[in-house]
Structure 1
Amino acid sequence: MNKNKTIDHLGIRIELIGRIEILNDQQQSSDFISLRRELDAQGILTEDKSYKFSFNKFEKQYESYYGRTVKLSYYLRATLDRNYGQVKKEIEFGVLIINRDEVNQLQSPLKLVLGMDDYLYLICVYLKSRYDLKDVVKGKVKFCLVKINIKQMELAVIRQEQIGQGATQKTHNETLVKYEMMDGCPRKGDVIPIRIFLSGINMSPSFQNVSGKFSVKYILNLILFDENDRKYFKQQEITVYRKK
């Protein structure tokens, strides 16, 4: 403060706020947590002053998330009330949550079958259904029947944001990364290994129906292209969590 200046105020407070913002529809945005502490009663500030505060019962329900259509954030808001208005200052901070329940869950493989009449039949196996953010997706694709000319196979990691629920739900898909797994036509009995390092992909943990507002899912999308550029694909949702 300027030493020759004083500030009359009606009170000073600090708030901790957790907010979900639907970026293309602010009417659906809302706060899921709001805590408040009074720092000072009505008075006069004649010099710089510091206030101690704490939010001991702050329950970190959700991890911070910054997506294409939705944002989940936490911030502190300091407010100084005056006769003619308010002076506010906000500081955002991030929250990371380690999911120990997922760490202790038993794993099971995922088996997918992609078939088309009597022309194509393959089996795709992922060794796990749940992955931490630093994990490696491992598996294999086995071709049991190939009677069409397949020229290429890709595996993509898709992030799917679901806004709302029921008939009004909106979905946004974003391909985070795409790998070419095979170039050229396979033969019956060929086995193509799968190995994807998640640590190099910009991912968050999965979110399931957060405050009835949104969900975030991750999908492995196996795509095959034939000589006429027709696509054959099989998708599988996986669970992603933070281990440490």
Structure 2
Amino acid sequence: MPYESYNGVNVRLRYILKVTVSRNYVSNIVESRHFLVRNYTPLPTINNSIKMEVGIEDCLHIEFEYSKSKYHLKDVIIGKIYFLLVRIKIKNMELEIRRRESTGSGSNTYVETETLANLN
């Protein structure tokens, strides 16, 4: 199968196996079952770490560092957060992991974002 099974917010790709048993003496038997398809691909050869910086000029400077740029759905995300400059009082910090689903193309692209985890 060329595509993996997927169950998203706007899109669902599924495969169905339908079997019909034709009988002359009684009505036909029809059964259908859904099955999942998973295409295993080799791990990416280049999987560099990610570094991102955010801040407010002369007040706050935060750097995020993650061990790799591509993750499997069952991977553990390992990273570090550095507070390089803090001149304001921080009351709360949250880190969210989001799943982003894009459907369509060009100007007709629709993006749906779902928060998977929220860490305080």
TM-score, structure 1 normalization: 0.43
Q: Quote how far apart the aligned CAs of 1:127 are.
A: 1.1
Question: What amino acid is aligned across from residue 135 of structure 1 in structure 2?
Answer: D
Measure, in 1, the Cα distance between the counterparts of 2:35 and 2:57.
54
Distance 1:90 1:159, change over 3 A: same
Q: Quote how far apart the aligned CAs of 1:164 are.
A: 0.3
**The structure with more strand, counted as a fraction of residues:** 1
Q: Report what 1:90 is aligned to.
A: 32
Measure, in 1, the Cα distance between the counterparts of 2:108 and 2:29.
39
Q: Report what 1:128 is aligned to.
A: 68
Q: Quote how far apart the aligned CAs of 1:87 are.
A: 7.7
Measure, in 2, the Cα distance between the counterparts of 1:134 and 1:161.
18
Of all paired residues, the percent bearing the same amino acid is 37
Structure 2 unaligned spans of 5+: 23-27
Q: Report what 1:72 is aligned to.
A: 13
Measure, in 2, the Cα distance between the counterparts of 1:165 and 1:172.
14
Structure index of larger Rg: 1
Q: Quote how far apart the aligned CAs of 1:88 are.
A: 5.2
What is the correspondence of 1:196-235 to structure 2 with a 5 Å cutoff?
Answer: none
Measure, in 2, the Cα distance between the counterparts of 1:72 and 1:146.
47
Q: Report what 1:154 is aligned to.
A: 94
Measure, in 2, the Cα distance between the counterparts of 1:75 and 1:163.
22
Measure, in 1, the Cα distance between the counterparts of 2:16 and 2:75.
30
Q: Give deviations 1:94-140, integer Å, cap 9, x for gaps.
A: 1112111xx15132110000021211111111111112233221111
CA RMSD of aligned residues (A): 1.9
Structure 1 unaligned spans of 5+: 1-59, 81-85, 181-244
